[in-house]
Amino acid sequence: MMSSLGILRQQQDYVPYKNKGRKFDNNRIFKKINLEPQANFADEVKKYLEKYPNTQHIDIILHDLNGHIRGKRIDINSLKKLDKGCYFPLSIYAMDLDGKVIEETGLGKYIGEPDRLCLPILGSLKPSAIHPEYNAQVYLTMQQEDGTSCPHEPRNVLNKVLQQCAAHNYFPVISAELEFYLYKQDQQRDGQFRPNQCFDMNIPEDYQLILDEVERIAALQDIEIISIVSESAAGQYEINIPHRANVLQLCDQVMSLKQIIKQVAKQHHVHASFLAKPDLAKAGSGMHFHMSLCDALFKNYFSSEDLKQPSQKMLQAISGMIEMMPASMAILAPNINSYRRFQLGQHVPLEANWNINNRNVAIRLPCSDQENQRFEYRVAGADCNPYLCVAVILSGLLYGLTHHIEIKKPSHLLKYPDDHIFLPTNQIESLTQFKKNSFINEILGKEFCETWYTLKSSEHQSIYNQMTISEKQWDI
């Protein structure tokens, strides 16, 4: 996995290179790292239409708690007025995986299905995957009636955690690895995927065309793809995007990539799946995050002269993430299918632990030079919401850095059973731990946590209420 904090120093969305070495105001840096909306959206529209003069339609998009896109299509005249905002119902953040509003959240009919003002996110106006010369897309962010950020919106939840990191002079630099499957519909039904091997360079021609088109559209959206890898199962691939100091924008790009892959695959009559476990006989799909942590002078807190001995800051951060990991599973593994991925022998962590250069653990310290030392968080499934996933990872990191807790031993030094922290094996168990965890509820926000718990409990019950074929065939 490529990594460089040198990338951080070159990025114009962080701070100007000419200021390197000077002391910066944390709030100013944070605002520059995490580009916030509405500053010059009218100018952005003008420049976009100069570059894409044939644009006819624009999809305006919100991402719900499950990461599904919600929105509508507008015309050019409406786009030019979008800097003033538009309205969508608050109940978007009460929708389950089937698109049904869960009334128990209290965000729907109970309060009259109120609309909230939504404003465009600066920098998110991009060409769409389908006919990019004619179609565009732009992301929105929702506000409360008093003009503050909607506490239920995943992007706002992450933004809140990033602000708390910045208050402590902590600035994460993150990259993402996204796994997914490509298959024909009849292959899904028969359980037969197209043959390929791990790190195989001979990708089936039709799949290669899809991946090439994904890369082309990603470039149009200013998303840099640094590698595409054949993964351990037939038809499974991994796309890597580079480290960014702009964490919100990184998650925006993950969401965009998911949509690009799905749309391009569909054009080629192929299905793209980000299900954590689309086939019980095949490897699951994860979403891994590599993370370094910097101060305002670009110093990597995780750097250590001895590459075999993590820095004290690194150990504190890891220890906090491990303590918060069981409760974090409610977000890292957000549905019933997510827990099918956690099986022995699949390079998937079954307990909260860490080690150096070991893919069996939850937090892996990959091979690196001194400047680029980082951790790889390997727990989340490809089905996770990246905004929420990064938010809960950073919550654990902050817990370790702001509390006096015992430093966790590497996995090979753990004594059974006292030192081992096993992860929840089902959704209800993880939701229970999530609800009881006061630190996570405080840092992510009580309103969001209550909505998440209610929504996910309802989704689980909905699946549990369905009778399986096996039950009907029992000779009882």
- Dihedral of CA 12/42/124/250: which sign? positive
The reply to whether 408 falls in a domain is: yes
- Comparing 374 with 24, which gets the higher pLDDT? 374
Indicate if 364 and 332 belong to the same structural domain. yes
DSSP for 115-168, please give it.
EEEEEEPTT--EE-SSSTTTEEEEEEEEB-TTSSBPTT-HHHHHHHHHHHHHHT
Take residue 144 and report the two structure tokens written for it: 């409360």
- Provide the pLDDT for residue 28: 42
Whether the CB-CB separation of 173 and 244 falls below 8 Å is answered with: yes
pLDDT in tens, 103-133: 999 999 999 999 999 999 999 999 999 999 9
- Provide the pLDDT for residue 202: 58
Indicate if 275 and 133 belong to the same structural domain. no
Indicate if 394 and 441 belong to the same structural domain. yes
Peptide bond into 120 cis (omega under 30): no
Non-local (6+) Cβ contacts of 29 within 8 A are 14, 15, 166, 171, 296
At 20, is the pLDDT very low, low, confident or very high (cuts 50, 70, 90)?
very low
Indicate if 318 and 460 belong to the same structural domain. yes
Number of domains in the chain: 2
Q: Nearest Cα to 283, choosing from 198, 205, 185, 207?
A: 198
Q: Which of 150, 169, 191 marks a domain boundary?
A: 150
Indicate if 196 and 59 belong to the same structural domain. no
Q: Is the pLDDT of residue 248 over 80?
A: yes
The reply to whether 412 falls in a domain is: yes
Indicate if 70 and 88 belong to the same structural domain. yes
Q: Which of 150, 184, 208 marks a domain boundary?
A: 150
Mean pLDDT of the chain: 89
Indicate if 356 and 402 belong to the same structural domain. yes
Q: Which of 150, 183, 208 marks a domain boundary?
A: 150
Indicate if 72 and 182 belong to the same structural domain. no
The reply to whether 35 falls in a domain is: no
238 phi, psi to nearest 5 deg:
-130, 130
The reply to whether 27 falls in a domain is: no
DSSP for 206-235, please give it.
HHHHHHHHHHHHHHHTT----EEEE-SSTT
Take residue 267 and report the two structure tokens written for it: 């054009």
Query: CA 341, CA 412: separation in Å to the nearest integer?
Result: 23
Indicate if 262 and 175 belong to the same structural domain. yes
The reply to whether 31 falls in a domain is: no
- CA distances 452 to 64, 95, 161, 387, Å, are 11, 10, 17, 14
Tell me, what CATH number does 221's domain have? 3.30.590.10
The reply to whether 7 falls in a domain is: no
Q: Which residues pair with 74 in a beta bridge?
A: 58
Q: How many CB atoms lie within 10 A of CB 103?
A: 14
The reply to whether 362 falls in a domain is: yes
Query: CA 336, CA 117: separation in Å to the nearest integer?
Result: 33
The reply to whether 21 falls in a domain is: no
Indicate if 169 and 112 belong to the same structural domain. no
Query: CA 451, CA 94: separation in Å to the nearest integer?
Result: 7
Indicate if 223 and 347 belong to the same structural domain. yes
Across 59-86, average pLDDT:
97
Domain coverage including residue 429: 159-465
**Helix crossing, 247-267 with 205-220: angle to 10°?**
140
Indicate if 437 and 366 belong to the same structural domain. yes
- Provide the pLDDT for residue 11: 36
Take residue 283 and report the two structure tokens written for it: 């490897």
